Amino acid sequence: MPLDPPCFTGTYTAELSVVQVTHVIQWVRVIIRSGNGQLLLIKQTDHATLARRIMAAWRRDGLPSSPRRDVILLATRRHDDAWIDEDRAPLVNDAGEMLDYLHAPDEVRRDIWPRGVAVLSGHPYAAALVAQHALHLFDKYRAEPAWQDFFSAMERTRAEQLAAAAPHTEDDLCADYFFVRMGDLLSLQFCDDWYEPQADGPYMSTWDGERLTVTPDPFEGSEVPLTVTARRLTVQVFSTQVELARALALAPTVTLRGVASGSR
Q: What is the pTM of this model?
A: 0.84
Cβ neighbours of residue 244 closer than 8 Å, sequence gap 6 or more? 25, 90, 92, 98, 238
Dihedral sign of CA atoms 128, 132, 138, 141 in order: positive
pLDDT at 248: 80
Name every residue whose Cβ is closer than 8 Å to that of residue 9 and which is 6 or more positions away in sequence.
200, 201
- Rg over alpha carbons for the chain, rounded to the nearest Å, is 18
Nearest to 138 by CA among 127, 125, 153, 126: 153
Q: Residue 234 has what pLDDT?
A: 82
Q: How many CB atoms lie within 10 A of CB 264?
A: 7
pLDDT at 109: 76
Tens-level pLDDT at each residue, the chain (264 residues): 445 435 644 444 433 333 222 233 333 446 777 777 788 888 888 999 999 999 999 999 999 999 999 999 999 999 988 766 554 555 656 665 555 544 566 777 788 889 899 999 999 999 999 999 999 989 999 999 999 999 999 999 999 999 999 999 999 999 999 999 999 999 999 998 989 999 999 999 999 999 999 999 999 999 999 999 998 888 777 777 677 778 888 889 999 999 999 997
